[in-house]
Amino acid sequence: MSSLNALLNVFDEESLLIFRMMLKNPLVKNALLVGALVSLCTALLGVILVLKHYALIGHGLGEVGFAAMSVASLIGLQAYPLAVAIPIVCLSSILIMRINQKSGMGGDVLIGIFSTSALAVGVLASAYTSGYSGVYDSMFGSLYAIKQTDVVFSVSLSVAVILIFLFLYNRLFSVTYDETYARATDMNADLYQFLISLLTSVSIVLGMRVMGAMMISSFIIFPAITAKRIARSFRSMLLIAVAVALFSFFVGMAISLLVVSPNLPTGACVVSVSVIVMLATFLFTKVKR
């Protein structure tokens, strides 16, 4: 009952005062900056992945990223986890796309193979280094895992992802909605599909520090599904997905900071808010119709 009361009183005057004090903490500032940029990236890419029925790639790549970071700690490169994880996750995304195109095995099968194998490797590597507390932080996110070097790296790559998306907006739109037409106009559709996969890989690795490997894939899917329910165009779907992602992140972040007993993981709080927004949107549109 006390935990429920704490959750219900998150946004009272005293709690908001505590929250403003917490914002002075450098760790919280770093998490807010990185989380907001990653939310923006995952929302933009999530729309494309959902429309192309390839959204679960985020789940598989998240667990590959967890394995890469765990192995980096095992071999003594724990000071540079992102520099190790990003190339490995990008390579995995390329392999998934290439094998899917050549063998016709099916994206869901390949994602299942990569995700379960990577999860086993990551848990074993973490058991030899940080123990199972490290597994928990990696899987569900932790504010205290973000370092200043991670912030600089994350901000730079997030801005790069957003700029690439905006610069290639028309081509990405064409590949997403009508791949056959895109190929008929001599557009290299395969190249842009690989680019989408690579941008998704980078965004997932950047978001793992705050959201966790298990949560980041859900944050790709839910804002896009919510936007798809009410949007009337591709552009409006992007804008709505971004708004839902940012709202869910900031509200979930506030809940995880203010509810101290029990200690709520940031990633789980953010995704829970995103799920509530999605369900409320589905209910509203159904009643309206």
Q: pLDDT tens-digit profile of 245-258?
A: 999 988 888 887 77
**For the ranges 10-24, 126-140, 177-191, 267-281, the one whose mean pLDDT is highest:** 267-281
Give me the pLDDT at residue 144, please. 63
Q: Could you tell me which of 51, 39, 86, 69 has the C-alpha nearest to residue 211? A: 39
Dist CA 11 CA 15 (whole Å): 6
Considering only residues 121 and 108, tell me which one the structure prediction assigns the higher pLDDT: 121
* pLDDT > 70 fraction of the chain, expressed in percent and rounded: 78
Give me the pLDDT at residue 14, please. 59
Give me the pLDDT at residue 280, please. 92
Radius of gyration of the chain (CA): 19
What's the one-letter identity of residue 223? P
Residue-range domains of the chain with CATH: 2-284 (1.10.3470.10)
Give me the pLDDT at residue 36, please. 85
Give me the pLDDT at residue 107, please. 59
Considering only residues 111 and 231, tell me which one the structure prediction assigns the higher pLDDT: 231
What's the one-letter identity of residue 270? V
237 torsion bin: left (phi>0), alpha (psi -120 to 50), beta (else): alpha
Instruction: Give the Å distances, CA to CA, from 109 to 56, 103, 113.
Output: 11, 12, 6
DSSP 25: S
Instruction: Give the Å distances, CA to CA, from 48 to 148, 212, 218, 273, 283.
Output: 31, 22, 15, 22, 24
Q: Could you tell me which of 247, 251, 238, 245 has the C-alpha nearest to residue 219? A: 245
Considering only residues 46 and 217, tell me which one the structure prediction assigns the higher pLDDT: 46
Considering only residues 125 and 223, tell me which one the structure prediction assigns the higher pLDDT: 223
Cα 241 to the center of its chain, rounded Å: 13
What's the one-letter identity of residue 288? K
The answer to whether 58 touches 197, Cβ cutoff 8 Å, is no
Mean pLDDT of all residues belonging to the chain: 77
